[in-house]
Amino acid sequence: MPDTNLIAETDSLEEGGKGHRFNVRNQDGEVMPAFVIRFDYQFFAYLNKCGHIAVELDYMPGEFFTDDGRTLICSTHGAEYAPDTGACLGGPCYGVGLESLGIAEREGRLYLDHENYEVVSKDV
C-alpha cells in the first residue's frame, strides 16, 4: 500500500478523542475533507460532510465527539452520528448518515483503502 494513502499513526488517536483531518480526491478530481477517529478500540474514517447540510462537522479542528466520547456531533446544528457506522442517531440529519471511507491498519499506521478516493493531504 503506497505511503501516499497514509492517514495517521494509530497511537496518535485516542479512544473517543480528537480525530485527524485529511483531504481525499475522488475519481472526478474533486477534493473533499475527511477525518479518522478511534472508537471502541477500532478506527473509522468518514467524509467530513454533515448529512443535513454539506458542511464540515468540526468547529474546532479534530473535535468530532460529544463530551462523553460516545457519539459524533455536527457543530452547526447538533446532528449526532454513530462513531462506528456513521448512521444518523438524531438531530437534523433526518436519517442521512456519514459516508464511510475504507481504511486499513498496517504496522501501526492507518491507510485509506477505498477504490474511489486517494489521500491528497493530511493533518489539515
Give the residues lining the site for ligand FES (CB under 6 A). 50, 52-53, 55, 74, 76-79, 91-92
* Maximal CA-CA distance, the chain: 39
Q: Which is nearer to ligand FES, 39 or 64 (CB)?
A: 64
Contact at 8 Å (CB) between 51 and 96? yes
User: Nearest approach, Cβ of 5 to ligand FES (angstroms)?
Assistant: 27
User: Nearest approach, Cβ of 93 to ligand FES (angstroms)?
Assistant: 6
Q: Which is nearer to ligand FES, 50 or 110 (CB)?
A: 50
Q: Which is nearer to ligand FES, 78 or 102 (CB)?
A: 78
CA atoms within 13 A on the CB side of 78: 3
User: Nearest approach, Cβ of 55 to ligand FES (angstroms)?
Assistant: 5
User: Nearest approach, Cβ of 80 to ligand FES (angstroms)?
Assistant: 9
Rounded CA-CA distance 60/108 in Å is 26
